[in-house]
Amino acid sequence: MNIRDFIDGTLLYQWIILAFFLIAFLVQLGIYLFVFLRVPLYSKKKKRAKSPGISVIICAKNEEKNLKLFLPQVLQQEYPDFEVVVVNDSSTDNSEELLMQLSAQFKHLRYTSIPADDKLKRGKKLALTIGLKAASYDHVLLTDADCYPASEQWLKLMASNFSGDHKFVLGYGGYERRKGLLNKLIRYETTFTAIQYLSYAIKGRPYMGVGRNLAYEKALFFDNKGFAGHYHLLSGDDDLFVNENATRLNCAVEFSSESHTLSVPETTFRAWIKQKKRHLSVGSHYNPGSRIRLASEWISRIILYITLIWICVSSSWSIPVGILFGMLLITRLVIFRMGMRRLDEKYLLLPSLLLDPIFPVLMGAIWLSSRFEKKYQPWR
């Protein structure tokens, strides 16, 4: 190979890297402008508020402390016709005694207990199915034992979306703000994911919801055979059910600040990673369209940062590429900040500068490690 061939080959390599950067840049810019912008710009159509009977379902396993703290806030919602059904899944603490006391105080609290069985491996899906069968009303609202509503209007606002063809209501479930890097990591991931799934739902492409704040018609569950298609999976009682059954016509979103739920965040990286492994392990079971859309964001973000670093270090195009990246960064920060405000989240804008390039790599590593986990783990 002569010098000219070497130079030509080097230039071709640089053009290829530049092309990858430009493609990733356009994909990221398109996602923010045409998808993620939908959350901050969303305007809910005015309609007559509905007040259907609602069954709030909570599955709990050794959650005595959280039930004592948060269950009364669920029971004290300002709503004309609702019940709360707690499924006590083989708890070994004093959850049973607590529920007995609370049911004497709140007549609209009902609970059922699943006996322990060391021979039977089961997860949350069994407890949730039992709760759905026990529900008295045709509409159900799911939350967790470590969650509490942001206001006494939570139930009213979520239920108001059951109109026309709407059979699903996707809500927002955030986490309490505390000190430390882990808390910022948890809240950033939760906020980014919510902007993503709520935006796609508004766009007519719903693909997931979160069990911390999710409502649907009970008949929809039983008519579609519940969790039969993925009962063997540890997770997926919320996102896979939505992914299989939600459509452009039957899905509504609700993310006004009073409709949120708040959860107690994990306090150790180990516990958080274990939680994310459960959640990420079901992603490969999403429908093809959802997988392509999610992968395009994740892969394009990784390619963007890798090619950006390479060009800035090794190419004469660093200035124009830097300008393009600066435009994208400003766009992303503005839209992310607007999304944060709609979801009533604070103090995540500056941390997002660091977390945005790190997160796809971190999530990829956690997902890859989840592929080697044993098939069954307790859900609590």
Task: Express each pLDDT in 178-228 by its tens digit.
Answer: 999 999 999 999 999 999 999 999 999 999 999 999 999 999 999 998 888
Residue pair 42/342 in contact by the 8 Å Cβ criterion: yes
pTM: 0.92
Task: Express each pLDDT in 104-119 by its tens digit.
Answer: 999 999 999 998 776 5
Q: Which two tokens stand for residue 284?
A: 């490969």
Which pLDDT belongs to residue 84?
Answer: 98
Burial of 298 per CB tally in 10 Å (0-12, 13-18, 19+): middle
Sorted by where each begins, the domain ranges of the chain are 19-40+289-370, 54-282
Which pLDDT belongs to residue 314?
Answer: 85
Give the separation between CA 26 and CA 276, rounded to whole angstroms: 29
Q: Is the pLDDT of residue 294 over 90?
A: yes
Which pLDDT belongs to residue 315?
Answer: 81
User: Cβ of 46: how many Cβ atoms within 10 Å?
Assistant: 6
Give the separation between CA 216 and CA 322, rounded to whole angstroms: 46
Q: What angle do CA 101, 105, 110 make, to 5 degrees?
A: 75
User: Cβ of 78: how many Cβ atoms within 10 Å?
Assistant: 10
Phi, psi of 142 (to 5 degrees): -100, 140
CA neighbor of 240 nearest in space, from 128, 164, 149: 128
Residue pair 173/147 in contact by the 8 Å Cβ criterion: yes
Which pLDDT belongs to residue 7?
Answer: 45
The CATH code for residues 54-282 is 3.90.550.10
Which pLDDT belongs to residue 2?
Answer: 47
Q: How many residues does the chain have?
A: 380
Confidence of residue 54 (pLDDT cuts 50, 70, 90): very high
CA neighbor of 58 nearest in space, from 84, 78, 82, 81: 84
Which pLDDT belongs to residue 226?
Answer: 87
Give the separation between CA 30 and CA 266, rounded to whole angstroms: 33
Phi, psi of 44 (to 5 degrees): -70, 130
The single residue listed with the structure tokens 């093809």 is: 288
Q: Is the pLDDT of residue 3 over 60?
A: no
Average pLDDT over residues 294-311: 96
| DSSP H or E segment with residue 297 | helix 288-314
Identify the top-confidence range among 23-37, 234-248, 309-323, 363-377: 23-37
Mean pLDDT of the chain: 91
Sheet containing 173-175: give its strands across: 147-149, 261-263, 173-175
Distances (CA, A) of 196 to 193, 199, 274, 308: 5, 5, 22, 24
Pairing of strands 214-217, 168-170: antiparallel
Tally of CA atoms within 13 A in the half-sphere of 261 that contains its CB = 29
Task: Express each pLDDT in 188-197 by its tens digit.
Answer: 999 999 999 9
Which pLDDT belongs to residue 117?
Answer: 72
Confidence of residue 49 (pLDDT cuts 50, 70, 90): low
Average pLDDT over residues 345-368: 92
Q: Is the pLDDT of residue 10 over 80?
A: no
Task: Express each pLDDT in 311-351 by its tens digit.
Answer: 999 888 899 999 999 999 999 999 999 999 999 999 999 99
SS3 content of the chain, % helix, strand, coil (to 5): 55, 10, 35
Task: Express each pLDDT in 147-177 by its tens digit.
Answer: 999 999 999 999 999 988 899 999 999 999 9
Give the separation between CA 105 and CA 107, rounded to whole angstroms: 6
